Amino acid sequence: MILHSKNKLPNIFLKPKLREITCINTRTKKAINMEEIMGEILVVPFFGQGHVFPLTELCKKLSSFRFKTTLIISSDISSSVSSTLLLHPLVSVAAVDAPLPPPPKPGKFDPQPLMLHCKQLRQGMESILRSCRSVKNKFAISVVCAIVDAMMLSHIEDIFTTFQVKVTVAILVNTFVELEQTFLEYLVKQTGLPIWGVGPMLPEKFWTLTASKSLLRDRDIRTNFSHKTNYSEDEVLNWLDSKSPSSIIYIAFGSDVVPTLEEHEEIAKALEESSRQNFIWVISKNQDYYPNGLETQVGKRGLIINGWAPQLLILSHSSTGGFLTHCGWNSTMEAIGQGVPLLAWPIRGDQFYNAKLIVCYLKIGHMVSSIGENIGLKRVKKEEIIQGVQRLMEDKQVHNRVKDLSHKYRHGFPISSAATLHDFKDFIMQAK
């Protein structure tokens, strides 16, 4: 049931002390006619890059409907916000003093730093909502909606009920109908809520360059990165250019979602023994591991990147023939868009469901190991990695299916998602 009132704050989420709140977009922006603004939307992502980046893209999409959006993030990640977003006339960024928890060690998880982060972010949210209610002059823009990342929902949901009688709920999902229609329809039946597939939320340049079948350059698409790495983007491109089409397996996990140290050793052994397999292996700066001596053993057939890697460049290059991944959603969407099949190594959370989508439903990849759902409980061994990579690289049907699926990206941002964003806008205006 949708309750219609100017005072209601619909709580919409996505599959994301006064000194503590700082507005960081202080540059001069284009003048806006305040009377044309439809209202303000608060957007609260989880702190990981895989959560922040899609929701910043959503902010841009919503601004096209003349909504002002305020992205509420930790001050620790404010430097990752792109300069184009900071200059956007209808997007603001509120940086809250909520230090990020350290990356968890593989196999070990201490919930206390995460709980402290969420508590501090919650306090910042309360200050923002109090500020919104206290401003009542004729130039004030009313908050019409809060979009809260599913990972943050349980930590801050009740503060909305504190500030209002009722909360209207709907769900936005970072996917598109052509990819997951069956599952979106299932969610509607199970929840009885309005549910929209509004993604994939990737940068606009990703869509335009993909539609033109151009090589993607991360430096042109993603700005304000901390480029701590041992190889420049140009050096990576030169290495890619030296390899045969579809000959490289690209191996990359999340910045803080990685296999155990023992499994890293198994990867290194597998790559050393796969004497004919070209590879790029990305090892995050957050990882307490480096395969010393492997570069000498494999010579020019391997590139080990320590730190930031130009993932879009690698995935869009014709020499890349497979992607060994933890199945983070953004990486999955980027790989499908470039027609690269996936070797799934899920580690936690939704990654197991993403892996099932890839392997069992879309059939555009394989599991890295025959232990399947027991990944995370049993160590993945060298032999399984070798066999998994070989199986993926040689499976022509999987390669053909993902190429066919990538054609859905060739016309730019999905028409179905653009339409559902319009539906969402109408929903908000009715609730307003």
- pLDDT tops 80 at residue 11: no
CB 188 within 8 A of CB 180: no
Residue length of the chain: 432
Q: How far apart are the first and last CA of the chain?
A: 14
Query: Residue 250, exposed/middle/buried by CB under 10 A (0-12, 13-18, 19+)?
Result: buried
Averaged pLDDT, 228-253: 96
The model's confidence at residue 346, banded by pLDDT at 50, 70 and 90, is: very high
Position of tokens 């209202």?
A: 39
Say what the pLDDT of residue 219 is.
Answer: 84
Residue 423 within a domain: yes
Cα–Cα distance for residue pair 188/401, rounded to 1 Å:
28
Residue 181 and residue 231 in one domain: no
- pLDDT tops 80 at residue 79: no
Among the listed residues 282, 256, 284, 262, the one whose alpha carbon sits nearest the alpha carbon of residue 348: 256
Higher pLDDT, 120 or 132: 120
Q: Tell me, what amino acid is at 404?
A: D
Position of tokens 């307003």?
A: 432
Residue 309 within a domain: yes
The model's confidence at residue 67, banded by pLDDT at 50, 70 and 90, is: very high
Residue 21 within a domain: no
Position of tokens 């300069």?
A: 83
Residue 162 within a domain: yes
Compute, in degrees rounded to 10, the torsion defined by CA atoms 407, 412, 418, 419. Answer: -50
Residue 278 and residue 423 in one domain: no
Residue 360 within a domain: yes
How many domains, in total, are found in the chain? 2
Say what the pLDDT of residue 115 is.
Answer: 85
The model's confidence at residue 95, banded by pLDDT at 50, 70 and 90, is: confident
CB 101 within 8 A of CB 77: no
Residue 401 and residue 264 in one domain: yes
Residue 180 and residue 222 in one domain: no
- The domain of 100 spans 2-16+34-199+414-431
Residue 321 and residue 337 in one domain: yes
The pLDDT tens digits for 420-429 are 999 999 998 8
Residue 51 and residue 180 in one domain: yes
CB 381 within 8 A of CB 360: no
Q: Tell me, what amino acid is at 384?
A: E
Say what the pLDDT of residue 3 is.
Answer: 31
Averaged pLDDT, 26-32: 51
Residue 125 within a domain: yes
Residue 270 and residue 368 in one domain: yes
Residue 226 and residue 358 in one domain: yes
Among the listed residues 222, 257, 216, 228, the one whose alpha carbon sits nearest the alpha carbon of residue 46: 257
Say what the pLDDT of residue 154 is.
Answer: 75
Neighbouring CB atoms inside 10 A of 352's CB total 17
The model's confidence at residue 413, banded by pLDDT at 50, 70 and 90, is: very high
Among the listed residues 50, 68, 48, the one whose alpha carbon sits nearest the alpha carbon of residue 60: 68
The model's confidence at residue 180, banded by pLDDT at 50, 70 and 90, is: very high
CB 228 within 8 A of CB 285: yes
Cα–Cα distance for residue pair 88/257, rounded to 1 Å:
32
Averaged pLDDT, 356-377: 85
Q: Where residue 276 sits, what CATH number does that domain have? A: 3.40.50.2000
- What proportion of the chain, given as a percentage, has pLDDT over 70? 84
The model's confidence at residue 5, banded by pLDDT at 50, 70 and 90, is: very low
Say what the pLDDT of residue 201 is.
Answer: 96
| Weakest-pLDDT range from 5-14, 115-124, 296-305 | 5-14
Residue 209 within a domain: no
Say what the pLDDT of residue 374 is.
Answer: 63
Residue 277 and residue 397 in one domain: yes
3-state secondary structure of 86: helix
Residue 84 within a domain: yes
- pLDDT tops 60 at residue 169: yes
Residue 420 and residue 321 in one domain: no
Highest averaged pLDDT of the listed ranges 45-49, 50-54, 263-267, 281-285: 263-267
Read off the pTM. 0.88
Give the angle 408-414-417 at the CA atoms, nearest 5°: 140
- pLDDT tops 70 at residue 225: no
